[in-house]
A = this chain, B = another copy of it.
Amino acid sequence: MTVLACDLGGTRIKIGIVQASQVLAHAVLPVDSKLGLARCLPTLKAEWLRLLSELSVPADACQGIAVAFPSLMETTTGRVVLEHGKYPDAPTLNLRQWAADEFGLPLAIENDARMALIGEWRAGSGRGVDDLVMITLGTGVGTATVIEGRPLRGCHGQAGVLGGHFSVRYAGRRCTCGNVGCAEAEASTNALSSIAAGLLGTGNPLVTVGSPLDYATVFRQAALGEQQALKLRDHSLQVWSALAVNLVHAYDPELIILGGGILGSADAIVPVIQQYVARYAITPWGRVRVVAGVLGDQAALVAAEWLLQDQLQKEHD
């Protein structure tokens, strides 16, 4: 099965041609997602056709389109039900109709964190495990879960993917989602400068550096022993660790996969969360393993074929 895949990020669209969990060809397009999705669709189409041509694969050899989207949607209809500052026109678009009109192909759409987990589960760090959770640490905090060999979706498609909005501090920081003390509000790249200002006060070297603070800087400075970076790093690790324990308590996984841009500092993150989960999670059956994902940026693309098959199967049932 050959699938046209894309992963719609806030600043980049990853595009690929996927076959049997392999990304045969791919491209990355910079995008300003605030300007909407409709204006990206012609470029998407042109890029897929260009990649197919590079591979000498005719368009009519493709069986479908798979889209990873950074929010919530009704899986059955493919309708985006919530946008969160990215692609604000998405709820008004009928992507399945677009796919039918432009390619004569079925289109499946899924939350990007759930797609990344499906990719790692079928072809990455999660191979062979039927109960697992993924935490994506980046601009936001994404999660997803597979329970007993099935991605958990829930009746509105939002089970498993809102772990970043578990409150880990009930009277904590206000999140962009409206809730308080969300893991994403307490430790993510989006919130980092503001967290630093709150935790360290203004006038400290990390906060006043001019450009927005990122975790690469925090981990690098912490490794050099810089006190404020250490404070910020340890605070963030504690938030992510508490979230990891909550996810173990919520979903009973045997494996936690960590992914996302912040995992550039994996060596300083994975062992700490592993140790915290071993110490604080209730797992009388044994020990949850914590590992880094291996598919990086392409995890969601890798899931394309599985997603499309799953949807075609459901429509067939």
Which residues does A use to contact B, with CB under 8 Å?
72, 81-82, 130-131, 147-148, 152-160, 162-163, 165-171, 177-181, 186, 238-239, 241-242, 245-246, 249-254, 279-285
Contact = CB atoms under 8 A, between A and B. Distances in A.
Contact of A148 (B72, B154, B241): B154
B155 A281 contact: no
A180 B282 contact: no
Contacts of A155: 130-131, 147-148, 252-254
A160 B252 CA distance: 8
Contacts of A147: 152, 154-155, 159
A84 B250 CA distance: 19
8 contacts: A82-B282, A155-B252, A156-B284, A166-B166, A167-B242, A168-B170, A170-B241, A178-B280
B165 A168 contact: no
B285 A81 contact: yes
Nearest to A177: B282
Contacts of A157: 252
Nearest to A147: B154
B170 A252 contact: no
A159 B251 contact: yes
Nearest to A281: B179
